[in-house]
Amino acid sequence: DGGITQSPKYLFRKEGQNVTLSCEQNLNHDAMYWYRQDPGQGLRLIYYSQIVNDFQKGDIAEGYSVSREKKESFPLTVTSAQKNPTAFYLCASSPAGVNTEAFFGQGTRLTVV
Amino acid sequence: QKEVEQDPGPLSVPEGAIVSLNCTYSNSAFQYFMWYRQYSRKGPELLMYTYSSGNKEDGRFTAQVDKSSKYISLFIRDSQPSDSATYLCAMRGNTGGFKTIFGAGTRLFVKA
The per-residue pLDDT for range B49-58, each reduced to its tens digit, is 998 888 999 9
CA A4, A8, A12 angle in degrees (round to 5)? Answer: 145
State pLDDT tens for residues A15-61.
889 999 999 999 999 999 999 999 888 899 999 999 999 999 999 99
> What value does the mean pLDDT take over residues A82-106?
90
Question: A interface toward B at CB cutoff 8 Å?
Answer: 4, 6, 31, 33, 40-43, 45, 48, 50, 56, 58, 88, 90, 92, 98-107, 109
Q: How many CA atoms lie within 13 A of B33 on its CB side?
A: 28
The residue among A36, A110, A34 whose CA lies nearest residue A75 is A34
**What is the Cα–Cα distance from B28 to B19, expressed in whole angstroms?**
26
Enumerate residues 6+ apart whose C-beta is below 8 A from B90: A43, A100, A101, B4, B33, B34, B35, B36, B100, B101, B102, B103
pLDDT score recorded for residue B96: 57
**pLDDT, mean over chain B:** 93
Contact between chains at A42 and B104 (C-beta distance less than 8 A): yes
| Confidence grade of residue A109 (pLDDT, cut at 50, 70, 90) | very high
Each residue's pLDDT tens digit, A62-91: 999 999 999 999 999 999 888 899 999 999
Residue B14 pLDDT class (50, 70, 90 cuts):
very high
Q: What is the model's pLDDT at position A1?
A: 65
Lowest mean pLDDT among A44-53, A97-106, B3-12, B18-27: A97-106
B100/A contact by beta carbon, under 8 A: yes
Q: How far is A92 from chain B (nearest CA, A)?
A: 9
Chain centroid offset of residue A59 CA: 13
A90–B44 C-beta distance less than 8 A? yes
Nearest to A100 among B42, B45, B100 (CB): B100
Nearest CA in chain B to A87: B41
Q: Pick B44's closest partner by Cβ from A6, A98, A104.
A: A104
Query: Where residue B98 falls among pLDDT bands split at 50, 70, 90?
Result: low
CB contact under 8 A, A31 and B98: yes
Q: Report the DSSP pairing between strands B19-25 and B71-76.
A: antiparallel
Q: What is the pLDDT of residue B26?
A: 94
Share of chain A above pLDDT 70, in %: 99
pLDDT at A56: 94
Residue B95 scores a pLDDT above 80: no
| A9, A84, A85, A97 from A16: Cα distances, Å | 21, 11, 11, 40
Give the integer Cα–Cα distance in Å for B109 and B112. 10
| Contact between residue B44 and residue B69 where contact means Cβ atoms under 8 Å apart | no
A81 Rama sector, left if φ>0, alpha if ψ -120 to 50, beta otherwise:
alpha
User: Residue B70 phi/psi, 5° resolution?
Assistant: 55, 55
Predicted confidence at residue A42, as pLDDT, reads: 85
What is the least distance, in Å, from the CA of B80 to any CA of chain A?
Answer: 23
* Inter-chain residue contact A48 with B105, CB threshold 8 Å: no
Residue A12 bridge partners (DSSP)? A111
Q: Tell me the C-alpha distance between B29 and A56, whole Å.
A: 21
Q: Answer whether A40 sits within 8 Å of B104, measured CB to CB.
A: yes
Residue of A2 and B42 predicted with greater confidence:
B42
Q: Is the pLDDT of residue B108 over 80?
A: yes
Taking contacts as CB-CB distances below 8 angstroms, the residues of chain B near A99 are: 31-32, 92, 94, 98
In this prediction, residue A110 carries a pLDDT of: 95
